[in-house]
Structure formats: C-alpha cells, structure tokens
Chain A
Amino acid sequence: QVQLVQSGPEVKKPGASVKVSCKASGYRFTSYGISWVRQAPGQGLEWMGGISGYNGNANFAQKFQGRVTMTTDTSTSTAFMEVRSLRPDDTAVYYCARISATRLFDIWGQGTMVSVSS
C-alpha cells in the first residue's frame, strides 16, 4: 500500500542539526513531491516547504529559508529534511506528506518528534 515511513524520535541540544528521513513505498516516487509540515506541542500545522521527487527542486516558507535543507534519494525513494542551528522552539513533530500534481497532501508519514533542549 502507499505509505510514508519516517525515522525515529530525536533529542538534540540547541545549536545542533537534525536530519529526518521519509521513505516512500507503494507508488512511483518521482511522480510526486514531498512536503514537510511541523506541529509544535499543542499547536497547529505549519508548512515548512516541499521538494519535487522528479527533479529535486525545493521551495521553502520564508522563515525556514537558509536554515532548512530538503533533499531526495530517488534510488531509495527517500526524502530528507535537515534543520540546522536548532532552537528550543523547533521542538515539534515533523511530518512528511506526499504532494500530488494538484498540490494535495494526500498521504502523510507517521511523524517524527524532535526535542530541542539543553
């Protein structure tokens, strides 16, 4: 079946980096994009950016530009998101979501909890 499986929880100190993976299965990876959405504890959903599974082109919400990198590995159908210079307010569940040509977030990963604390 179509699914996205994310890497496990992370605990990081302020200033560190974290890299979250999102492995796709059950569909042609290069026919869809992957978006990343985060959710701070008890808060709403925030779109961070997205990347094409076809050509690796990425776009970001302005607040994340320069601090977030999104990449893909088409050989393993996996998307990656790295956040640098982590701050405590980056503590959140990070989700990947498949984005269709019509820009719908139709399949979601299970989420990866990233905790940032000294």
Chain B
Amino acid sequence: DIQMTQSPSSLSASVGDRVTITCRASDDISKSLAWYQQRPGKAPKLLLYAASRLESGVPSRFSGSGSGTDYTLTISGLQPEDFATYYCQQYQSTPYTFGQGTKLEIK
C-alpha cells in the first residue's frame, strides 16, 4: 500500500496569509494526487486533482504542485471560509490512501 504523509498536522494562520501544506507518498504516484477540504460536520470537497488542476468552481487562490513522491497545496490570501481540514489522497493505485489531514486554524 502507498502511505501518504502530510505535514504539518495543524497550522495557525491569519486571514490574508499564504500557507503551504505538504504531502509525501511512499512511492512515486505520478501526479495522481488530489486535495480535499473538509469543514466540520461536512463531507470532503474535491479542490485539486492531478496534483495541480483546479476542480471547477474552486477559487484560484488554491494551487498545487509536485511530482514523484512530493506534493504541496498552497492557499494564497486566506479567507475566513478556508479554515478547515485538508487531506491529500493518492489515486495511483488501490487501496486509495489519504494523508492524515492538516487542520488549518485561525490565529
């Protein structure tokens, strides 16, 4: 199984800040990497796929990059609605696996 390791596990930031979350896979996943946002009590929402492609309707302040085993999610100009938990997920091979999550909190 491919293990996904996210860091940090939690992060405090202010509205307007730029933040970066990293995700490392235990094997090359060839950019088969998605990022999800989950607000409390809600289902996850797909933000980006193929490491850097924005899902329709997702604001352009979200961006992603990476290749091989190392990937990043960047949020530029944090908005109040962005404070949530973020998960990376590899879909290169089953079992599809998620990172443990990064909780983004308001400073």
Total interface residues on A, using CB and 8 Å? 21
Cα A25 to Cα B96 with chains together (Å)? 25
- Whether A108 pairs with B43 at a CB distance below 8 angstroms is yes
Known: A109-B43, A110-B43. A44 touches B95 (CB 8 A): no
A95 pairs with B91, CB closer than 8 A: no
Q: A46 an interface residue at 8 Å Cβ cutoff?
A: yes
A104 at the interface (CB under 8 A from B): yes
Instruction: Tell me if B44 and A61 are in contact (CB < 8 A).
Output: no
A59 touches B94 (CB 8 A): yes
In the assembled complex, A62 has its CB within 8 A of some CB on chain B: yes
Measured between beta carbons, the chain B residues less than 8 angstroms from A105 are 34, 36, 44, 46, 89, 91
| 18 sample A-B contacts, Cβ–Cβ < 8 Å, listed by A number | A37-B44, A44-B100, A45-B89, A45-B98, A61-B95, A95-B43, A97-B44, A102-B49, A103-B32, A103-B91, A103-B96, A104-B34, A104-B46, A104-B49, A105-B36, A105-B91, A106-B46, A111-B43
Other contacts beyond A106-B55, A108-B44: 17, CB < 8 A: A35-B96, A44-B98, A44-B101, A45-B36, A45-B38, A45-B44, A45-B89, A47-B94, A47-B96, A50-B94, A61-B94, A62-B95, A102-B49, A105-B34, A105-B36, A105-B44, A111-B43
- Could you list which residues of chain A lie within 8 angstroms of chain B, going by C-beta atoms? 35, 37, 44-47, 50, 59, 61-62, 95, 97, 102-106, 108-111
